[in-house]
Amino acid sequence: MTRATASGFWKQALSIARRDLMIESRGGEVFGVVLPFAAVAVFVVPLATDALATRLDQLAYPVFWLVGLLFGMQVALRQTGTENLTQRRTLALMGIDPAARFAGRSLAAAILTTGVMLVIAPLVVLFYDPDSIPDIWPSLAAIIGFALGLSMLSTLAGDVTVGLRTRSSLAPLIVAPISVPLLIGASQTLEALIRDRSTMAPALLLTVTVLSLAVTGVLTAPALEEATT
């Protein structure tokens, strides 16, 4: 299949990402709905424990990553970011490279997910008071890597299930078990930073997983487009 030229590919991908971000800025599904919901989740976990006796500080990072995983999926699978059949067909007939469409939609979801996680992080610190906090910049890199991988995976799962009546539960079922390498790569990178160990192995795992998802997404994009137009 004739790929758009490299510049054409990125121009298309960025246009698609820009479209999704504009829709979000108007519809506010992520920052008006998903994010408050995620904040509530952070807040209610201690209420499900004996907060006075339990070491909440030990729950800080697990809760952060779990909320990031579950609500990151919600971001990528959000209703206002899902193209309907007519929209998918119109894009296909404009000759948009399906791989560029995948890249653009994943990129927008990754930006939004990173945003959600960056708001959640201080809330976790506030409510759970962890013993130590890792360096900002390497942590940010781990969060961005996690958000990128999760967004690509959820975008793929969202496309595979688009139009199905059970999509809202089916897509997360597909994403959750496959997201484990991302979860372990990102959470262990952060833990290595906290414990002053080498981040080499988990960071490498995260990078390899993100790259493998990018390659899988680009290679399956034409078949996925054919299956959903």
Q: Give dist(CA 158, CA 163) in Å, integer.
A: 9
- Does 50 bind another protein (CB under 8 A)? Our answer is no
The sign of the dihedral angle between the CA atoms of 115, 116, 119, 120 is: negative
- Does 164 bind another protein (CB under 8 A)? Our answer is yes
Among 56, 174, 194, 214, binds another protein (CB under 8 A): 174
DSSP state of 34: I
Give whichever of 11 and 130 is closer to another protein, judged by the CB atom.
11
Per-residue CA distances from 163 to 8, 26, 59, 112 (Å)? 29, 24, 37, 23
Among 68, 134, 158, 185, binds another protein (CB under 8 A): 185
Asked if 45 contacts 59 with a C-beta cutoff of 8 angstroms, the reply is yes
Give whichever of 52 and 198 is closer to another protein, judged by the CB atom.
198
- Does 26 bind another protein (CB under 8 A)? Our answer is yes
Binding positions for another protein, 191-210, rule CB under 8 A? 191-192, 201-202, 205, 208-209
The single-letter code of the amino acid at 95 is G
Question: Where does 28-166 have alpha helices with state H?
Answer: 29, 35-44, 56-76, 85-93, 98-128, 136-160
Q: Going residue by residue from 143 to 162, which x/- string records binding to another protein, judged by CB under 8 A?
A: -------------xx--xx-
Mark the segment that binds another protein (CB under 8 A) among 40-48, 57-65, 127-135, 174-182: 174-182
Among 5, 49, 58, 87, binds another protein (CB under 8 A): 87
DSSP state of 80: G
Q: At its nearest, how many Å lie between another protein and the CB of residue 65?
A: 12
Q: What is the 3-state secondary structure (H, E, C) of 87-99?
A: HHHHHHHCCCCHH
Among 123, 170, 194, 214, binds another protein (CB under 8 A): 170
The sign of the dihedral angle between the CA atoms of 141, 147, 150, 152 is: negative
Which one, of 210, 17, 38, lies nearest residue 109 by Cα? 17
Binding positions for another protein, 95-134, rule CB under 8 A? 95-97
The residues binding another protein (CB under 8 A) are 1-2, 4, 8, 11-12, 15-16, 18-19, 22-23, 26-27, 80, 84, 86-87, 89-97, 156-157, 160-161, 164-167, 170, 173-174, 176-178, 180-181, 184-185, 188, 191-192, 201-202, 205, 208-209, 212-213, 216, 220, 222-224, 226-229
